[in-house]
Amino acid sequence: MSKIKTKELHIEKVATSRIHDVDFNDLVFGKTFTDHMFECDYKDGAWQNPTIKPYGPMMMSPAAKVFHYGQAVFEGMKAYKDDTDNVFLFRPDQNIERINKSSKRMAIPEFPEDVFLDALHTLVAMDKDWIQKGEGNSLYLRPFAIATEVGVSASPSNEYKFMILMAPVQAYYKGAVKVLIAEKFSRSAAGGVGAAKAAGNYGAQFYPTSLAQEKGFQQIIWTDSNEHKYLEEAGTMNVFFRINDTLITAPVSDRILDGVTRKSILEMAKHNGIAIEIRKLSVDELIAAKKQGSLKEIFGAGTAAVVSFISHFGYKDIVYELPEIQNSYAVSLKKQLMDLQYNKTKDPFGWRVEVK
Ligand SMILES: *Cc1c(COP(=O)(O)O)cnc(C)c1O
């Protein structure tokens, strides 16, 4: 259970904002951070001293356990601004619930939901001038928790830090993505930590992804680790396949991250009357559908890019092309989701949360 000793948020403001040093038309994703960050320590069996303070480097022992055993989890979410400067979060309850699930799997103490939401709202409101208006612009929010106890003995840490950083990001459209279907490497395994947003899941996929990049692909679609037979997810995005007019995606499992974008797309598609199947899809079925002409679209879904269009997929040295189509589900679902996030449409789902 998550215990907290002192709930009041302590706030230390910057003397002068750095905002005027930033070129908002030339941002590299996740490199520029706002004036403030949130920090809360876990010590003596309880979270304590939730604090908002100036963003900056911190001192840590090189023997802190996170550096040796990778006890680290994170989240990715965004804050959006509408045309009249109102600020919104998108389903923040889902992110705190998920980081706590990830933490549990990594033996990190859970963080109190109310303290998280209070800190997040306060932090976003303090630095809201860093959110640019305009479709696609947003503030990327990065909550994370790390093991800070000093000592290289292989056991769970008794001390942690829970932090939130915020980075202004621009709309980015890098074009459609070429993906390679995994035949050898795995991102996660049954019983493992694939369903947790654990830092190490990313570290483990950089090498196979770099090999795929040498072959001209940007990302990998991971398959099940036992047989490499079923399509799972892209490692930063969940994946959707449209065969005829049915939208298919893999069921979440202990190998697949339960994406907020994935579940939102599923509910939106249902709302639109699109047929949905949440089931295993084999690589063989995908290729057969491509050969018959019934495979119409593949796209990824995740907070960073919302929806990523996939133009090609590679498997066993063959590259299959997916030409652009009329009435694309990806295009229409992306627009509907972004219109909802940017307060351009009604929100029948109750997903949008205003920051005041
Ligand atoms: C974060 C993440 C996603 C996307 O999740 P969203 O909640 O939609 O951003 C998909 N797969 C993995 C492995 C992830 O870490």
Q: What is the domain extent for residue 94? A: 10-169
Lowest mean pLDDT among 17-21, 121-125, 172-176, 345-349: 172-176
CATH number, domain of 36, equals 3.30.470.10
| Site to substitute for ligand 1 among 188, 222, 257, 261, most atoms within 8 A of C-beta | 257
Are 34 and 78 in the same domain? yes
Q: Nearest C-alpha to atom 13 of ligand 1 is from which residue?
A: 235
Are 303 and 203 in the same domain? yes
Q: Which of 264, 201, 273 is nearest to 232 (CA)?
A: 201
Are 100 and 164 in the same domain? yes
Are 142 and 253 in the same domain? no
Averaged pLDDT of the chain = 96
Atom of ligand 1 nearest to the CA of 95: 7
Give the number of domains in the chain. Answer: 2
Note whether residue 137 is domain-resident: yes
| Site to substitute for ligand 1 among 101, 106, 179, 236, most atoms within 8 A of C-beta | 236
pLDDT band at 109 (very low <50, low <70, confident <90, very high): very high
Are 183 and 306 in the same domain? yes
Are 257 and 182 in the same domain? yes
CATH number, domain of 337, equals 3.20.10.10
| Site of tokens 């795995």 | 186
Q: What digits encode the pLDDT tens for the residues 267-305? A: 999 999 999 999 999 999 999 999 999 999 999 999 998
Are 57 and 143 in the same domain? yes
Report pLDDT for 51: 98
Are 207 and 307 in the same domain? yes
Are 187 and 151 in the same domain? no
Residue pair 352/121 in contact by the 8 Å Cβ criterion: no
pLDDT at 1 over 60: no
Are 160 and 182 in the same domain? no
User: 143, 169, 195 — which closes off a domain?
Assistant: 169
Q: How many residues does the chain have?
A: 356
Spell out where the chain has E strands.
10-11, 36-43, 46-54, 72-74, 77-81, 87-90, 138-147, 160-169, 177-181, 219-221, 238-243, 246-249, 275-278, 295-302, 306-315, 318-321, 352-355
Q: What digits encode the pLDDT tens for the residues 39-61? A: 999 999 999 999 999 999 999 99
Mean pLDDT of 155-173: 93
Note whether residue 348 is domain-resident: no
Are 153 and 29 in the same domain? yes
Are 101 and 158 in the same domain? yes
Q: Supply the DSSP symbol for 192.
A: S
Report pLDDT for 175: 84
